[in-house]
Structure 1
Amino acid sequence: MKLYNIKENDEQVSFGQAVRQGLGRNQGLFFPSELPKFDDVDALLAEDFVSRSTKILSALIGDELAEDQVNSMVDAAFQFPAPINQVKEGVYALELFHGPTLAFKDFGGRFMAQSLAAVSDGGKITILTATSGDTGAAVAHAFYGMEDINVVILYPKGKISPLQEKLFCTLGKNIHTVAIDGDFDACQSLVKQAFDDAALREEIGLNSANSINISRLMAQICYYFEAASQLTKEQRENLVISVPSGNFGNLTAGLLAKALGLPVKRFIAATNENDTVPRYLETGKWDPKPTVATTSNAMDVSQPNNWPRIEELCQLKGWGLDTLGKGKVSDEQSAESVRELKAQGYLCEPHGAIAYRLLDEQLQEGETGLFLCTAHPAKFKEVVDEILGSDIDLPGPLAKHAAMELLSEDLANDFDLLKDVLRRAQK
């Protein structure tokens, strides 16, 4: 498999290089030079989750890794289901929160850990990633205790839920967590500065576990196929998928699944008040505004890193951006949708509720709707309890970490200070 740098097309790398390197020159994202196409999708969907995902990922990776090795990687990474749950006639929730950190990023984080182990050249590695909540936990747990891999996770201080924070900031060992005085975009900016520093990159073996890393994105493709496998053939023919979108990795993966042959009629890019993409699709002008804090904090991103991949894919496939559904949802509206779903017997949190609301508004007669539930409602217990007037139980992993001490250090939004943290993590 060859991948090229979207910004500098002459930079072409193997899958292993892309996984180890994370970003290309000039902060360019890597993208596959060729995309396979599965002709008999029905036969593929008839297989079990691990077998099907092995075929999908082997086709993307090519002969760089043997299929039995990819199968072992997938089997180790995908040890939990991705079920769909009908919430009303013609509308289903895809539940992506059954992994160890109760969020969809468990799929990508764990497959990336397996990929990095498979392609590592034996040197020490420092994983640097920014999180608005769920990525941090998934990456921390995926890499926890791995030899010669140190993980440094940046997150916006006071801008993620307390339970999200507890889930990944209580581990210690090779996991180092840093609360940055700023928003998520400030954290992403620091990550980009680190990757632009060639000497630092070389010194500490820098890599990233954000969805900019192609291995994470590839893993996410698989659960779109898994969702479709649980629908009838007739339902699949008119499938509309609504994706809660922050950094836009999830929507990128969905569109890649469609490019590989998954029958999806259209996607809806669902955002909160941080609506850079919906406004861009409406006006053609890319105009990020300062990030706004919302109750769907994992989507509080005003400059989504993965958007260039979506534009690249749409251009390659001849898909007009105007075919994407879009919309923004306020905190008040998402709360209304959490209550509406609860009245229908389904417990949801604000991110999934945003995707549900726009799906419900835009779904047409004869279509089947699917919305992504990216996190367990208990990860946003404070918000959900306030909306519903409830006291939802904490599942095992959250209850365990809620009682543990935070190990994070606070840091100003200063790259020189971050460099000191990265060097200390190596010792």
Structure 2
Amino acid sequence: MKLYNLKNQKEIVNFSEAVQLGLGTNQGLFFPVNLPIIKKKLLTEMLEMDFITRSSKILNMFIENEIESETLYNSVKTAFSFTGPIIKQVEENISCLEIFHGPTLAFKDFGARFMAQILSFLNKKEKKTITILTATSGDTGAAVAHAFYKMKNIRVVILYPKGKISQYQEKLFCTLGHNITTIAIDGSFDDCQTLVKQSFQDIEIRESTCLNSANSINISRLLAQICYYFEAFSITPIKKREKLIISVPCGNFGNLTAGLLAKSLGLPVKSFIAATNSNDTVPRFLENKIWDPKKTISTISNAMDISQPNNWPRVEQLFKRKKWDLKTLGYGSVSDKITKKTLQELYELNYISEPHAAVAYRLLKNQIKKNEYGLFLGTAHPSKFKNTIEKILNIKIPLPSKIQNRINLPSLSYHMDPNFLKLRNFLLKK
């Protein structure tokens, strides 16, 4: 697999290099040189396969001969060893695609665990110590921490905005210790993301720590996420597949990018909706063609509190390469006030949701047509937002054992100002 740097198209790397580098020069994202297409006959056959078999074949289309088919299959089997996507009907023509049944109760388990398997495989020969530096707005931190927990020769450092992720999200990854280091940054997620980017620009940090990132900027995470869109299509009733609309709650836009790559492969999804909260840089851009990030606003859908989404350049590149019209991409933003009303509306429909999925549902509900069938992505278990949902719906939500077992453990996090020199010293000392 060959990939090029979106900021320097002369920089071309293979899959293993892209996975280990994370970012190219000038913080450029890697993007596939070739975009494979599945022929209709093969697509029909693949949709009949089990999730693991189909996923390994999809990934093999990108990775090609860099990793042997059997090794790749085993990596996928280990990575996706939990309950896969489930469709829960909410209305006659709208259902939720629940992709939060993994170890950390979030969709990011798919990408993080696959990346961990691939990095572990690639590092077996060299046996060097790799530092994974990543920023989280809520769920990435837990998924990455658990995916790499106690892995040999891998050190994980996770930055998150202090006081701006839920208590239950924090407990999942800030109580592990061992090779997992967590740092609460006194700022926004964008501040955390900026610190990660600055670290990648620092040659000494990159070389002395073998720096890598597990954010959705890493191509291995992104490719893994393509797989559950195919699974979603395969478990959708055949009669409802023809006019399928998928609404994706968007923060860093990795999830949407993966969905669009699935469509690029040949998955016949009619259209996608880019659903954001009040941090609406992309919806405003699609409306007026002006890229104008505002100061990040804290909302109850905190994992989407991102004003400068990293993956948007990949979305634009894909539309350009496929000669798709950006006007075909649905979009919209939802305020906290409407998100709360939507959670109540979903509850009246006998479905307990959480804020991110509610944002996606609201925009799908607003934009879907009578003859269409819609899926909105449920990206995190409602219990991760227990306090918020209980207050809005006036109900009690039991904690799953995965959270209950960690709730009384002490936080092992460091605290730091959003100061790159401080982070630099921290990374180089370890």
Which residue pairs with 1:230 in the alignment? 235
How far apart are 1:92 and its partner, in Å? 1.1
- 2:117 equivalent among 107, 114, 117: 114
How far apart are 1:117 and its partner, in Å? 1.1
CA–CA separation in structure 2 for the residues paired with 1:419 and 1:145? 24
Which residue pairs with 1:95 in the alignment? 98
Do residues 78 (structure 1) and 77 (structure 2) align?
Answer: no
| Partner SS for 1:10 | strand
Do residues 296 (structure 1) and 301 (structure 2) align?
Answer: yes
Return the letter of the residue paired with 1:329: V
Do residues 404 (structure 1) and 409 (structure 2) align?
Answer: yes
- Equivalent positions of 1:384-423 (< 5 A) are 384-423=389-428
| Partner SS for 2:406 | helix
Do residues 162 (structure 1) and 167 (structure 2) align?
Answer: yes
| Partner SS for 2:158 | strand
| Partner SS for 2:241 | helix
Which residue pairs with 2:31 in the alignment? 31
Do residues 51 (structure 1) and 53 (structure 2) align?
Answer: yes
Which residue pairs with 1:15 in the alignment? 15
The answer on whether the counterparts of 2:113 and 2:143 sit within 8 Å (CA) in structure 1 is yes
How far apart are 1:43 and its partner, in Å? 1.3
User: Structure 2 length as normaliser, TM-score?
Assistant: 0.98
CA–CA separation in structure 1 for the residues paired with 2:189 and 2:99? 23
Cα deviation 1:378-420 (Å, max 9, x = unaligned): 0000110111011100001111111110000100111111012
Structure 1 gap segments, 5+ residues each: none
Runs of 4+ more than 2 Å apart? none
| Partner SS for 2:103 | coil
Cα deviation 1:327-359 (Å, max 9, x = unaligned): 000111111111111111111000000000100
How far apart are 1:27 and its partner, in Å? 0.3
Aligned residues: 425
How far apart are 1:57 and its partner, in Å? 0.4
How far apart are 1:53 and its partner, in Å? 0.1
Which residue pairs with 1:317 in the alignment? 322
Return the letter of the residue paired with 1:6: L
- Equivalent positions of 1:200-239 (< 5 A) are 200-239=205-244
Cα deviation 1:95-134 (Å, max 9, x = unaligned): 0110000000000000000111122232110000000000
CA–CA separation in structure 1 for the residues paired with 2:81 and 2:147? 12
- 2:66 equivalent among 64, 67, 79: 64
How far apart are 1:423 and its partner, in Å? 2.5
Return the letter of the residue paired with 1:17: E
CA–CA separation in structure 2 for the residues paired with 1:314 and 1:133? 29
| Partner SS for 2:183 | strand
Structure 2 gap segments, 5+ residues each: none
Which residue pairs with 1:4 in the alignment? 4
Return the letter of the residue paired with 1:417: K
CA–CA separation in structure 1 for the residues paired with 2:264 and 2:188? 34
Return the letter of the residue paired with 2:81: Q
User: Structure 1 length as normaliser, TM-score?
Assistant: 0.99
Q: Which stretch shows the higher mean deviation, 69-78 or 413-422?
A: 413-422
Which residue pairs with 1:275 in the alignment? 280
Q: Which stretch shows the higher mean deviation, 137-146 or 341-350?
A: 341-350
Percentage of identical aligned residues: 59
How far apart are 1:216 and its partner, in Å? 0.2
CA–CA separation in structure 1 for the residues paired with 2:87 and 2:163? 33
Do residues 42 (structure 1) and 44 (structure 2) align?
Answer: yes
CA–CA separation in structure 2 for the residues paired with 1:185 and 1:378? 25
- CA RMSD after TM alignment: 0.7
- Equivalent positions of 1:135-154 (< 5 A) are 135-154=140-159
The answer on whether the counterparts of 2:205 and 2:427 sit within 8 Å (CA) in structure 1 is no
Return the letter of the residue paired with 1:109: A
Which residue pairs with 1:196 in the alignment? 201
Return the letter of the residue paired with 1:413: P
Which residue pairs with 2:268 in the alignment? 263
CA–CA separation in structure 2 for the residues paired with 1:305 and 1:395? 32
